[in-house]
Amino acid sequence: MKSLCSFLLVLTLSFPAAAQQIIQLRTLWTKPEVKLVFRDYYIYFRIRDINKAMQFLSEPDKKIYGTKSVLDTNKVYVVELESGTSTNVQYLNDLQPLLQNAVGCYLLMSGHAAVETKRHKKIHKIEAHIGPANDFDGFFRVPVTIYDPKTGKMIFSGEMDDGMYKKDIGFDD
């Protein structure tokens, strides 16, 4: 019995628990130019916030995405994403992997996004589940899943560079 309890204790402690946190979304004082459609939710980002977040990318990500987007602030971009990882999702344009695998999670976790349901009900708080970091040749990435805390439905799923996790994008200017 003692060995069974020890085994269960070791088994339980060997699985890393995902960090969870509730995040208050900020009010975007200027109209967002990027509308991300993900399942039953719309997520809105401003291009200037995307550009600020791109400054925090790791060197391998900067080689892939650059240090600044080439998006025109006078246009509105609508992007549809599917849930999944970068290995099993087929992207149709360059903005999709940038948002899902580089800056989308970061902007949501820093509160620099607006979220609403397809019925246009605004979401003011989100729940972030951060998984364990995965090593990619010395650079670590963390999977992040964002949920609506009231319904438990997934709002967004993606990943971000571990180095971005504690960086501050600053206040709106």
pLDDT digits (tens, 9 = 90+) for 81-94: 875 544 556 788 88
User: Is the pLDDT score of 148 beyond 70?
Assistant: yes
Does the residue 6 lie in any domain? Answer: no
Longest dimension (CA), the chain: 68
Does the residue 77 lie in any domain? Answer: yes
Q: Structurally, how many domains does the chain consist of? A: 1
Which pLDDT band, with edges at 50, 70 and 90, does 13 fall under?
Answer: very low
Q: pTM of the predicted model, to two decimals? A: 0.82
pLDDT of residue 2: 53
Task: Judge whether 129 and 147 are in contact, CB under 8 Å.
Answer: yes
Of residues 167, 173, 34, the one with CA closest to residue 109: 167
Does the residue 33 lie in any domain? Answer: yes
Does the residue 157 lie in any domain? Answer: yes
Give the type of residue at 112: H
Does the residue 47 lie in any domain? Answer: yes
The conformational region for residue 31 under phi > 0 = left, psi -120 to 50 = alpha, else beta, is beta
Does the residue 137 lie in any domain? Answer: yes
Does the residue 102 lie in any domain? Answer: yes
Instruction: List CB contacts of 146: < 8 A, sequence separation 6 or more.
Output: 105, 108, 126, 127, 128, 129, 154, 155, 156, 157
pLDDT of residue 162: 83
User: Is the pLDDT score of 151 beyond 90?
Assistant: yes
Task: Judge whether 67 and 24 are in contact, CB under 8 Å.
Answer: no
CA atoms within 13 Å, Cβ hemisphere of 65:
29
- More confident site: 19 or 60: 60
Print the domain residue range for 147. Answer: 17-164
Task: Judge whether 89 and 80 are in contact, CB under 8 Å.
Answer: no
Does the residue 172 lie in any domain? Answer: no
